[in-house]
Amino acid sequence: MNAPLITPELVSLDANLGSTKIEVITSVAGIVAAAGRADADGLARDALDRESTSPTGMPGGFAIPHCRSAAVSQASLGFARLSPTVDFNGPDGPADLIFMIAAPEDGGAEHMKLLTELARALVKPEFVEQLRQAPDAQTIVDLVGRVVEPKEGTAPTASATALPHTAATSTATEAPRIVAITACPTGIAHTYMAADYLTAAGKKMGVDVKVEPQGSTATEPLSAADIEAADAVIFATDVGVKGRERFAGKPVIESGVKRAVNEPEKMVSEAVAAAKDPHARRVPASHSEQQESKQTGSHTGWGKRIQQALMTGVSYMIPFVAAGGLLIALGFLFGGYEIAQNGMDIALHNTLGNLPIPTAHALGGSATMTYIGAILFAVGQAAFSFLLPALAGYIGFGLADRPGIAPGFVAGAVAGVTGAGFIGAIVGGLLGGLVAYWFTRINPPRWLRGLMPVVIIPLIGSLIAGGLMYVVLGRPLAALTNALNNWLGSMSGASAVILGIILGLMMCFDLGGPINKAAYLFATTNLAVTNIGSLKVMAAVMAAGMVPPLAMALSTTLRPKLYQPAERENGTAAWLLGASFISEGAIPFAAADPLRVIPSMMAGGAITGALSMALGAASKAPHGGIFVFFAIDRAWAFVLAIVVGTLVAALLVTVLKASARRKATASA
């Protein structure tokens, strides 16, 4: 280890660091930065982001703001003893002791272990009192050092705290047996403190409590024997429970992780009561492991759960979008845009020994390139055919775990057959998932349980979701798509700029949904090489459709701290997806923050569509993005329209997200 986690210059005693927790966190971040261990602004921003997710005030008058941050260069503990105290939303009033746990974004396992040892030591009232009575900074350093950096052969202070797998052994055979999972977003502090609070509460109450903290450091999982013997389960988590299916059928108490810190005895009492209640809520035989953050003491709201399911569906759909879209684009590059008409026929009936007649725009005019392009196009089409089923199927999975997959996939396939499209797949996936989830709440006879997830739930869920799509929902959505096509057709003689604005708005509204597809179908079904107007419409549609992923990629590059790590990874991929005319590359961002992302994308798309039409860009190719520049007239106008629209959309969404972040921080 290059440097100790805490040194005297990281300690501030009896200091006035502000009257609000925002001011205190900012001040302590400055102390860490002054020691050369972090960037003050970056650390403060990330710690405040974590604080806005869940306040870090703890029972006993102390607070532990913490985060993993790219702004941290050396794992550090900043400490402040405040005078006057400051409200950190703790359960028993303002805090006078502040520990800021600053971990590097890629912090190693050893540092994480030491940081969690501190968090667990803070569970002990005597340790906290020693911190209050310490006369100087070096004493604080020594106290903390004995916990996080014990000398060889010396047990750390935190070890005195009941460990997750200890229990009241003298009464283990008669006592109620409870198992628990604790987890917080960062996996540094609350995860392990909650585990120790629950264990200590169980020991005090004569209840055998065994806990599996799912945090940043390796923890031995609960054994199958412990789970089998348990009378009830506690899930105190702000993130998904790993291996939730292990607890199927057990009575369950669920809450956010902070409730286990604030009310551990009450949670243990509720678990004991649930174990004795035959009507208590139980862990379903198959239930989504993708749980949303919960409010303290309450279950996840259905709005949040549906949003989580939508994000699950989109995340599983994106690989099909990326693979299919890029393969189709490469097919156009190798085989020319005519491949869209005859590519499937060539792939099925020709071989390398029986090459087709080369298409007019094949790479080098080669028959071999034509055949390769056809194969690429055919494989891409096959991948694309899974978009709607995958989206709907994994929305069902997000709501009901594995039993929701079959009903969702069936509903998504029906959405494609009926023309219900992207929105139909969402509705069908939700229907299938909700039906499957309802069945998982049933407690059937033991002889029937084995058939439920593999036969009964998939059968009835598929029938209901697929049947409703065929009988009730599919045709109205298809009719809506046709009506939009007819409406657009009636505007073909109107102002080109107005038409470009409308098409741009439609392309960016639902990112591959019925409205987007209506605009695209209007362009492709009217595309004719002899009709310059149709070529301009095609160029406007393709340019506008490229804007959303490009704009989100640019925004994540300009202000990466506004986005989660997964979103930043999506932003990197979105450069290529946007360049390939795959609007769906922006779906993860729109699903996570629709009120800011979708209007911004529509503004950029409208400008792009208008500029493309006004400047006379024209495309003979119906797809392909940058891979079909050979088929675009006035390519400079096409590029200019895309660049301007992308800049407008990216700047607008960045400003809106930054404003929302400031408001959230101010209210934290």
The number of angstroms, rounded, from the C-alpha of 212 to the middle of its chain's C-alpha atoms is 24
3-state secondary structure of 124: coil
The residue annotated as part of the active site, out of 67, 111, 184, 190, is 184
What is the DSSP secondary-structure string of 199-255? HHHHHHHT-EEEEEE-SSS--PPPPHHHHHH-SEEEEEESSPPTTGGGGTTSBEEEE
What is the DSSP secondary-structure string of 512-544? SSHHHHHHHHHHHHT--TT-HHHHHHHHHHHHH
CA angle 268, 272, 277 (to 5 degrees): 140
The question of whether 299 is a catalytic residue gets the answer no
The conformation of residue 351, written as its DSSP 8-state character, comes to B
The question of whether 184 is a catalytic residue gets the answer yes
Structure tokens given for 529: 């090489």
What is the DSSP secondary-structure string of 268-286? HHHHHHHHH-TTS-B--SS
CB-based contact 112:189 (threshold 8 Å): no
The number of angstroms, rounded, from the C-alpha of 490 to the middle of its chain's C-alpha atoms is 41
What is the DSSP secondary-structure string of 48-86? HHHHHHS--EETTTEE--EEEETTBSS-EEEEEEEEEEE
Rounded CA-CA distance 330/320 in Å is: 15
Rounded CA-CA distance 104/186 in Å is: 12
Structure tokens given for 360: 């007019």
The number of angstroms, rounded, from the C-alpha of 534 to the middle of its chain's C-alpha atoms is 39
Rounded CA-CA distance 584/576 in Å is: 12
Contacts of 348 (CB under 8 A, 6+ apart): 378
Rounded CA-CA distance 650/645 in Å is: 8
Rounded CA-CA distance 428/444 in Å is: 26
Q: What is the bridge-based pairing of β-strands 76-86 and 177-183?
A: unpaired
- Closest C-alpha to 60, from 193, 183, 158, 184: 193
Residue 515 CB-half CA count within 13 A: 11
Amino acid symbol at 24:
V
Contacts of 420 (CB under 8 A, 6+ apart): 414, 427, 428, 469, 473, 474, 477, 478, 514
**Residues labelled catalytic:** 66, 184
